[in-house]
Structure 1
Amino acid sequence: MSYRLVILTVCVVFGLLGLYTLQHTTQSRETFSSATLKMGSSGKDVYELQGRLKALGYFNGKVDGNFGDSTKNAVTWFQWKFGMKSDGIVGGKTKLKLWNATKDWKPTAEDLPPTTGGNNNTGEGTSSGGTDKLPASNNLGFTEKDLKFMANAVYGESRGEPYEGQVAVAAVIINRVKSPEFPNTATGVIFQPGAFTAVADGQIYLTPNDKAIKAVKDAMSGWDPSDGCLYYFNPDTATSKWIWTRPQYKTIGKHIFCR
């Protein structure tokens, strides 16, 4: 009887350990992909790596998405400080340790990859029109940087929505910039903690297509299909109970826009 109890106990312990490992591996993949990062690597994961290392004070270089000597030195230092093998190679163990050390980290505009050009690491979305040409009727003083990140946000939040709905999402960002209740810059609004799902789940990294860019330009030019709304949500996916308390004004596509 005691032998069976020992076997059962061992099985339970290993089962719980497996669940713990799976849970934490899943958490680490909420941001990083499963790719191993090392000298010569580049792309979104390296931006993420450099941004998190910089937040901890290990990396002082430019967040440029290129894994060079300075990034390797930062990784090696981090690994040594946290009792890991200091080889400068970022595998699953290092990613998990870094994620746990920077759970509250949020990317700023400087931590994000540039979105001009065609392809990106995910293979989603292309743009041939560029994001560097502001509309002639831009009377709110938006910059080319604002246009770029607004297009990223619109693409990440609403690329499956009708065009009017995409313009409305861009208009909500602009309405928040104009409102005293929110940050007074486009990037401040977009990267406000908890404000946009695309920032939380990483879709802000995707390269916007021409449709998303045009939607932002139309909103900058004064078109506001939301009629001044400050909020929107998808009732099929919304998890916030608070958003349901907002006065609902109109529905465009799958999004309900609120005052």
Structure 2
Amino acid sequence: MKKLISLITFAFTMFAVQTSALATSSHTVKKGETFWTIAKNYGVPVNHLMTANNTKHDQIWPGQTVKIPTNSISLEERKLLARLVEAEAKGEPYAGKVAVATVVLNRVESDIFPNTIKGVVYDKHQFTPVSNGEINKPASAESTRAVNEAVAFHGKGSGSLYFYNPKKTSNQWLRSKKVTVRIGEHIFAK
């Protein structure tokens, strides 16, 4: 019970930090920070962060002030995406969790899927956790971190639009898609 309370407290703190971070329009760089770590902390794509700061190089210095672009992904959408990641990739490596979140973000950008995270997640017959109710269970702190990393990484991956566990599906259409990467038990494809 003590672990559960600690986990809930940690998750609440993560979401509270995200909320306050999203409201901030600038950040003072601390020693050891990079555009990548700042993007993950604020949950914004690293390329948007660099664009907002009018730079193509990744050098920043402690004490420097960087502009934080407005985040287009709401806290509600992040929570939904984290719950999907938890349900779809529980027991998978952290990289697999990031990749599952990335698939959803790629689908939002694609012309063949709905253009919102909620629309993609609840798109009919796409994700088993929606049909079996697992989507309603809370996300772990790791799944929440994976979502932030996927957002920060967005636009820099291989464009995966699908993932599946070959031990759990015989869908030939899905298996015919070009494989982009295999992580844990999942195959990612486009």
TM-score norm. by structure 2 comes to 0.65
User: Who is 1:182 aligned against?
Assistant: 113
What SS does the corresponding residue of 1:129 show, helix, strand or coil?
helix
Task: Write the distance in 2 (CA, Å) between the matches of 1:172 and 1:184.
Answer: 13
- Unaligned runs of 5+ residues in structure 2 are 23-40, 49-70
What is the 5 A alignment of 1:93-242?
A: 128-130=10-12, 131=15, 133=18, 135-138=41-44, 141-222=72-153, 227-242=158-173
Which residue number in structure 1 is paired with residue 33 of structure 2?
Answer: none
Q: Is the 8 A contact 2:101 2:147 kept in 1?
A: yes
Distance 1:144 1:162, change over 3 A: same
1:137: Cα distance to partner? 4.6
Task: Kindly indicate whether structure 1 or structure 2 has the higher relative contact order, using CA contacts under 8 Å at least 6 residues apart.
Answer: 2
User: Which structure is larger by alpha-carbon Rg, 1 or 2?
Assistant: 1
Contact 1:127/1:209 (<8 A) preserved:
no
- Corresponding residue pairs, total: 137
Equivalent residues of 1:226, 1:257 under 8 A apart: no
Q: CA deviation at 1:229?
A: 0.5
Please say if residues 155 and 209 of structure 1, whose CA atoms lie closer than 8 Å, have aligned partners that are also in contact. Answer: yes
Identity percentage of aligned residues: 32
Task: Give secondary structure in 2 for the equivalent of 1:155.
Answer: helix
Secondary structure of the residue aligned to 1:151 is helix
Instruction: Please say which of residues 133-142 and 247-256 is displaced more in the overlay.
Output: 133-142
Q: Which has the higher strand share?
A: 2
Say whether the 8 Å CA contact 1:226–1:250 is kept in structure 2: no
C-alpha separation between the residues in 1 aligned to 2:125 and 2:74? Answer: 24
How many Å separate the matches in 2 of 1:215 and 1:206?
17
RMSD over equivalenced CA pairs, Å = 2.2
Whether contact under 8 Å (1:137, 1:221) holds in the other structure is yes
